[in-house]
Copies of this chain bind each other. A is one copy, B any other.
Amino acid sequence: MKTPVLYLIPAPLSAISVSAVLPQDHIDVVKTLTCFVVEDVRTARRYLSALGLNPAVLKLEVLDEHTSPGDWYGLLEPLRQGQSMGMVSEAGLPAVADPGAELVALAHKEGYAVVPLVGPSSLLMALMASGLNGQQFAFRGYLPVKAALRDKKIRELEKLSAKEQQTQIFIETPYRNESLFQALLLCCGDDTRLTLAINLTAPDAFICTRTIAAWKGNSPDFAGMYHKKPCVFLILA
């Protein structure tokens, strides 16, 4: 391995103190860096300042869903100059349910060390708190937007979870959380367990596992308290 390192730096899931996000030793590592690839400059600058970095000396380059593959190469320039650098996403772990994996792949191809730091993963925090099967699980990203396709996918995933005892994890654009929740109540069997993990790490975080039957008539307040709050959905039949 070449000595400069690409550090993968988890970001907060909610507006909490940085001392609830990264272990202290990892904060100290981040403070030694000045070059970062980030998903959004404004949020990243705020986060890195809160970690104690001097915003005036930071060099931030953007990698988001609009970055063209032709621009990835240039983003690793600090490593080629012998300088370690960091990658930060909008929330949670970089390169997981997020852009960035291709840049990590490029770093491996060029032989640089890649070091993941410890921090919040909404998917795994939801899984461990669900009580569903943590020995077999799959993350499915976003389900289709169109209702008919979405419902078909839900039924497929429920069948698969029954067959392989595999917990199915998926997410939704927050303003569509309630319609996905209602679709799950309609499409899944009464005994299937559904976990909702809403606004993880925030003071109003809500994590609850119930059977579909028990969720009926017990909807979380998606229109009020949990309006447009991020939610991880998990099912196991």
Q: State the A residues within 8 Å of B (CB).
A: 1, 8, 16-17, 19-26, 93-98, 100-108, 113-116, 118-121, 123-141, 166, 193, 200-201, 205, 207-210
Q: Is the CB of B106 within 8 A of A116?
A: no
Q: Which residues of B contact A135 (CB under 8 A)?
A: 97, 101, 139, 141
Which residue of the partner chain, among B98, B104, B123, B130, contacts A130 with CB atoms under 8 Å? B104
Least CB separation from A193: chain B residue: B105
Partner of A104, one of B16, B26, B98, B131: B131
Choose among B17, B93, B119 the residue that contacts A25 (Cβ–Cβ < 8 A). Answer: B17
Contact across chains for B137 and A139 when beta carbons are under 8 A apart: yes
Chain B residues with CB below 8 A from A21, complex form: 23, 118
Give the residue name and chain of the B residue nearest to A8 (CB): B128
**One of B8, B98, B128 near A129 (C-beta < 8 A):** B8
Question: A-B pairs with the 4 shortest C-beta distances?
Answer: A105-B131, A104-B131, A138-B138, A96-B134
Q: Is there contact, CB below 8 Å, between A116 and B132?
A: no
Q: Is there an interface contact between B129 and A104, defined as CB atoms closer than 8 Å?
A: yes
Known: A22-B23, A23-B22. Is A133-B207 also a contact (CB below 8 A)?
Answer: no
From B16, B98, B118, B123, contact of A20 by CB (8 A): B118
Knowing A23-B20, A124-B96, A136-B141, the reply to whether A201 touches B118 (Cβ < 8 A) is yes
| CB nearest neighbor in B for A135 | B141
Contact A129 B115 (CB under 8 A): yes
Bound-complex Cα distance A209 to B116 (A): 14
A19: which B residues are within 8 A, CB to CB?
23-25
Choose one: B106, B131, B193; the contact of A131 (CB below 8 Å).
B106
Q: List 11 A-B contacts (CB under 8 A).
A: A19-B25, A21-B23, A24-B24, A93-B128, A95-B129, A95-B134, A105-B131, A105-B193, A114-B129, A116-B200, A138-B138
